Amino acid sequence: NRGNVKMRLGKKEEALKDFNKAISINPKIATLYNTKGIILDELRRSTEALAAFNKSIALNPNNAETYYNKGLTYANLGDKLNAVKSYTKCIQIDAKYFQAYVNRGNIKNSEGKFSEALKDFNVAAKLNPTFALIYYNIAVSKAGIGDTINACVDLKKCKSLGFKATDELMKQYCK
């Protein structure tokens, strides 16, 4: 659809117009509202984005991606509680939605809930074991609970997978 092409070209306002037109023609297609929500979030129109995601969910309550995108919008707003709720619902629908575990774990880490974050990151690592950054996140969680020896092991794994920004933490935990 033309709106998707305009989105990829960075013409977000024009893409939004195309999606609004498509919605006016067929207001029962949930994915149109989901994409509209993504565009609105990128335009920093978060309240409208959330309304679009909610409409998408009303039409198709079993689309994990919509809950994920809703979580991103809440996270952008600094609403960690609702972001976590949205990521959790995404995971309930699709237990293999890797990025939802990562984002939920990042929020938990930022709140000092390192053990809870570690659970999410461990699932994410099982789903995508070559994603280097996940081992960095695991290391931060382990360090947060005082397990610096294993944090060092994960930092080394992270670095071996190509993530370069581990040196500062390695100096701190790998003695």
Each residue's pLDDT tens digit, 52-106:
999 999 999 999 999 999 999 999 999 999 999 999 999 999 999 999 999 999 9
pLDDT tens column, 113-148: 999 999 999 999 999 999 999 999 999 999 999 999
| Amino acid letter for position 7 | M
